[in-house]
Every structure is written in structure tokens, then in C-alpha cells.
Copies of this chain bind each other. A is one copy, B any other.
């Protein structure tokens, strides 16, 4: 690792702020901890203390950062989305940001797209036929569009005859709508299916190798994912055609 030109050791809060600022996507506590372990062990000496930061300490630093940012009224703050954190500008400043980025036309989803997305979100993992049952129309085109937009993806095959694919929402879906987790959606208790136990959140006391492995899985290529999902949808529709012809 290259040498450091740094004299003053930063506080955990400052590190968290810098990491969130430089990151290109929301950061989980795990990823922040991984960066701290790598820097701590890589630089050694007084840096070793950072390698020992716990999830709780990092979470505390995030909370302190969040509070300090809010109090200082800087036009930005820390938000929690998809169980990860990101910096974002205050909504009140949004019109100015849109003017700057010349994004006056925000990408808005159509009503059918939103309805389909809502069904997938609450009922995931769910079959295409289930969505069509609820909406009463074919969702082929709209589902394809949502997959293209990386808001929906295939999760796995179901155990039903013909092993049809099951669909779910993506990380991008959570980011786009600024949702931390599906459970935070209104009425989710009522609309959601009970999740199987193994899909529930695990507690986080991982070692570094475990951390690395998990993060490796996390950063699966989203684009490839979209291609796979489109292929799965194609397969579904082909099966149907054959059935219709037969």
C-alpha cells in the first residue's frame, strides 16, 4: 500500500462521512467496516485501531454524522435505503438540483408499471401469473420494461409444475423509491407473505473472510442480472406459446 501523507488520525464519524461521500452506491455497515479493516491492517501502527471498529461503533458514527449534518443545515443528509446508507440532498433543494442537472422531467413510472411494481414488491417472490391474476391483464410488456429498468429481477424457479420463474424487486427499486426495506412499505404486514426463516436478516458478527464473501455476492453484476431476468421471462412466454399452440 502506498505511504500516507496524513498526520492527523480522523474520527470514525469523519471516515464514515468521507466513505459515504465518495461511494457510488449506498454503503452497508459491512462495506464500511471492510474499508476500515483493510486500511487499518494495511497501514498498521496507529491505524490498527480502525480495524477493530465494531458494527455498533460504525452505526453510532453514522448516527452522529446524520445528526451533525441535520443540525448544520447543509442541504444534505444521511439516508438509510435498502439497509444501507447514502448521502442525499434535502428534498427542499430538489428543484434547484433538477435545474442544475437539467433533469426537469423526472423519470416517472406509468400507472400500470407502478401497479405491477407494487404487486411484485409486496408479494415477492411471485409468479407472472399471480401478477396477472391481481391486475386482470397481461403484464408481459410492463414486466419486461421493469426488468430493463432493473427495478424487477428473477429470483429463482418455483417448485410448481413447469417450474415457472419467480420475480422480485431489486436494490435499485429500493434506491429509486428511497425505501430502506420492503417491510417499511405501508400495509406491508397485511399484504406481504410471511418470509421463510432463512430469508430473514442474519445478525452481523462476521469475520473478515465472511465479510468479503458476502460483499462479493452483494456486488453481483446488475446488468447481467437484468439479462438473465429477461431470458427467464422469454422462457416463460415461449412455454406459454407452446401450450397455446398445443
Task: Give the chain B neighbours of A15 by CB distance below 8 A.
Answer: 75, 93, 96
- Number of residues on chain A facing chain B (CB within 8 A): 58
Q: Which among B34, B35, B65, B89 is the interface contact of A21 at CB below 8 angstroms?
A: B89
Is A124 in the interface zone, CB < 8 Å from B? no
CB 8 Å contact bits of A205-232 with B (1 = contact, 0 = none): 0000000000000000000000000000
Q: Are A92 and B22 in contact (CB under 8 A)?
A: no
Q: How far is the CB of A133 from chain B (nearest CB, A)?
A: 33
Closest to A37 in B: B99
Asked whether any CB of chain B lies closer than 8 Å to the CB of A6, the reply is yes
Output the nearest chain B residue to A47 by Cβ-Cβ distance: B95
Please indicate the chain B residues that have their CB under 8 angstroms from the CB of A87 in the complex. 21
Given contacts A39-B96, A89-B21, A96-B39, contact A74 B4 (CB under 8 A): no
In the complex this chain forms, how many copies of it are found? 2
Contact partner, A74, options B1, B65, B89, Cβ 8 Å: B65
The segment from A101-109, A142-150, A186-194 found at the interface with B is: A101-109
Select from chain B the residue with minimum beta-carbon distance to A23: B100
Give the complex CA separation of A234 and B42 in angstroms: 45
A31:B74 contact, CB within 8 angstroms: no
A14-B93 in contact given A21-B75, A69-B74 (Cβ < 8 Å): yes
